[in-house]
Every structure is written in C-alpha cells, then in structure tokens.
Amino acid sequence: MEKNDKIIKILIVDDDKNICQLLALYLERDGFSVEFCHDGNTALTKLSSNAYDGVVLDVMMPGLDGFEVLSELRKFSEVPVIMLSARGESTDRISGLDRGADDYITKPFEPQELIARIRAVLRRSKPAKEIKNVTLFNLNVNLTEFTVTLNGEKVDMPPKEIELLYMLAKTPMHVFTRDELLNAIWGQGYSGDSRTVDVHIKRVREKLGDNPHWQLTTVWGVGYKIEVK
C-alpha cells in the first residue's frame, strides 16, 4: 500500500480466534488496519459506533449468526461485507448475497485470496467519479472532459477558459469578483494580477458571440456574471 493511501480499516467477525489472528497477520502485513470480535452482538455494537471500510463476517457463530448480523447491519450501513462459511452449499451463498453480502468465500481458503477479494469489493464500492457538467440553454460546459459545445457545435477553448466559463455558467446571475475567479481558477499562489481574468473573459466572449438566451456581462467595478435574458 502506498504511503499516501488512506489506511483501510477492516473488521473481522469470527468465533475462531486463530482465524482472526491469522487474517489480521496477513492483512496488517498488506497495510490494512484490523480489528476483530467473536460474536454477532459485539460486531453490531462495533459497526454501529465505528467507521469500517470492510467487514469479513463468519456465518456460523454463537448467538446471532452471520446472516442475522448482515440483515441487521444492512438496516443502517452499506459497508462492504465478505462472508465466510465452512459450508459451500449454494443455498447458503444465495442467502448471503440476497441479504446484502458483497462476496462469499468458503473455508478453508488462502489468506491471499481473501485479501484479493477484499480489494475487489472495495474497488466496486467506491463512489462513481463526479461528473462536472453544466447546461445553460444552448451552452454545455463539461469540466470532466474539458469540452464546450454551443448549439451542438464544439467550441475550442484552452483549459483555463473552460474552467472560467464553467464557474460562471454553473451559477447564472451570480456576480463573481475578479479576485474570486482568479483564486478559484489560478490558485491563491498565482503571481499575476486580476487583468488575467479580463483577458480570458474577452477571449471567451469572442468565441461564444452573442446569444439570445444569456450573455456574459461585466458588472463594472465588481466582476463578471452570466446573465439570463
């Protein structure tokens, strides 16, 4: 695991203490942070009061079994869960998946296989990348792909012009000062002055031309806005 990566916290729930210690050894060696407990009630208490990135959950335990723990867990959390079982029957596997398990592995198993499966479910559980896209009448600005289209036709712009247009189009009628635009797009450490914004605004206007629905307006002494007509 890279030094700058977030430490991934895993909870292991298994009444076999030897399995818990073995898995903790392998997971910690791979850079994970590990906690474990040995019964379902303790697991639910931990899961309701702590943030975990993933759970390895045994099926056969005293008190609440793994299926019951999973059913309760899914009432308040979508944390990824891999179920462990000494039984490989398809009915058990289906029951676990139907109750919200992300994966199911039967004992005995190779610890490295479990680690690979943990990584796989964590990748699948990551939120989708945010798409930064705004449409204003006949104008579309996509900051994810750095594209601008007007009336369905692509308009060639360098990245800074696209970022500037996106910021204005995302909040029409809002007046942004030159300093706000400069700091948001060029960064507070930029050594230039606010005339940089004026130059880019001029270029954006030239490329977009007049529009029947909106216009890029100068608010004298303050800054710029996109005004809806």
pLDDT, one tens digit for every residue, the chain (229 residues)? 433 456 889 999 999 999 999 999 999 998 899 999 999 999 999 998 888 999 999 998 888 899 999 999 988 888 999 998 877 666 777 877 888 888 888 888 888 988 999 998 988 877 656 678 999 999 999 998 899 999 999 999 999 999 999 999 999 999 999 999 988 888 876 777 788 999 999 999 999 999 999 999 999 989 999 999 8
Q: How far apart are CA 54 and CA 119, in angstroms?
A: 9
- Measured CA to CA in angstroms, residue 222 lies from 22, 23, 171, 215 at distances of 64, 61, 16, 17
Q: What 3-state class would DSSP assign to 113?
A: helix
pTM of the model: 0.55
Determine the pLDDT at residue 3.
37
Q: How far apart are CA 177 and CA 107, in angstroms?
A: 63
Give the total residue count for the chain: 229
Determine the pLDDT at residue 129.
60
Q: How far apart are CA 104 and CA 84, in angstroms?
A: 6
Which residues are 223's β-sheet partners? Answer: 177, 219
What does CATH list as the number for 133-228? 1.10.10.10
Q: How far apart are CA 105 and CA 199, in angstroms?
A: 61
Q: 223 with 215: CB under 8 angstroms?
A: no
Determine the pLDDT at residue 97.
82
Locate the DSSP E strands across 68-213. Answer: 81-85, 103-106, 133-136, 139-142, 147-150, 153-154, 176-177
- The domains of the chain are located at 9-125, 133-228
Q: How far apart are CA 115 and CA 199, in angstroms?
A: 53
Q: 8 with 53: CB under 8 angstroms?
A: yes
Q: 139 with 54: CB under 8 angstroms?
A: no
CATH superfamily of domain region 9-125: Response regulator (3.40.50.2300)
